[in-house]
Amino acid sequence: MGSRFAMFWQNDNPSMTTADDADRETAMVSYCGALADGGARPPPQLQSWTADKGKGVIIWTINMAVGACYTSPATDPRYSHQLLFFGGGSLQMGGHENAAGQGVTWAAAADVEIRNGPEPAALFLLQGRPIGEHVPQHGPFVMNSRDELQQAFMVYQRTGFGGWQWPTRGPAHARETGPFAKYLDGRVEDSGAAGAE
C-alpha cells in the first residue's frame, strides 16, 4: 500500500457545538470518527487504519470558549487518548493545570473533565487502538523504518516538498469557482464536490 493524499473539505466534516451549564461553548470538528454515538462521520480514508471502526480512531479539533467546560466521555479501555493543547493560555484536566504547547495522555476508560482557562483554547484530540508496531517519527515525518525516515529527509532537502511548484504551501488553490485540489494523476477536485474535471 502506497501513500495517498486526500483533501478534507470543511463542508464534508461533521461539526458539533456543546454548551456547559454557564452557556460557554465548546466546538468540535471531526476528521475521523463520529462526534456522538451514531452521529455523522467524515468521508472514510480507504486503505487506512482509520477505516476500521473497530480501531476506535478519532481525530478532532476542539475550540473552547473562555472558562468553558467539556467532559470527554469514557470509551473502550483498549483505546488511548491524547490531547494536544496548541492554542490558548491554560486548562485543567482531572485537577491538573496544563499550559499551551503541552500534550496530555489519559486512559480512555474514564470520563475526563476539561476546563478551559482565561483565553480561548484550541485543541487536537486523538484516540485509537495502538497499532503495536514501531513507527519511526521525526518532526512531521512518519515512516516505517529509520532508513525510510532518512530518505524522506534527503528528498525534502533536495526538493523542498516533493518539487512543490506553486507559490504558496497550501494544497488548495483559489480560482473563480472556489478552492480546488489537483492530484498527481491530474484529477481536479473542487471544494465540497466529489466530482472530477
Label residues 76-109 b or e (16+ Cβ within 10 Å = b): eeebbbebbbeebebbebeeeebebeeebeeebe
Beta strands in 147-190 (DSSP E): 180-182, 188-190
Residue-wise pLDDT for 87-126, tens only, equals 999 999 988 899 998 889 887 788 899 999 999 999 999 9
In CATH terms, the fold of domain 10-128 is Jelly Rolls (2.60.120)
Residue-wise pLDDT for 26-43, tens only, equals 999 998 888 876 666 776
Is the predicted pLDDT of residue 193 greater than 90, yes or no?
A: no
Residue-wise pLDDT for 44-88, tens only, equals 666 677 777 788 888 999 999 999 999 988 888 888 889 999 999
Instruction: Output the pLDDT for position 161.
Output: 62
- Please count the CA atoms within 13 angstroms of the CA of 98 that sit on its side-chain side: 25
Instruction: Output the pLDDT for position 197.
Output: 39
For residue 1, name the pLDDT band (cuts at 50, 70, 90): very low
Q: What's the average model confidence in pLDDT over 146-155? A: 88
Q: Where in the chain are the domains?
A: 10-128, 137-190
Report the alpha-carbon distance of residue 76 to residue 130 in Å, rounded: 12
Report the alpha-carbon distance of residue 156 to residue 49 in Å, rounded: 26
Q: What's the average model confidence in pLDDT over 132-145? A: 83
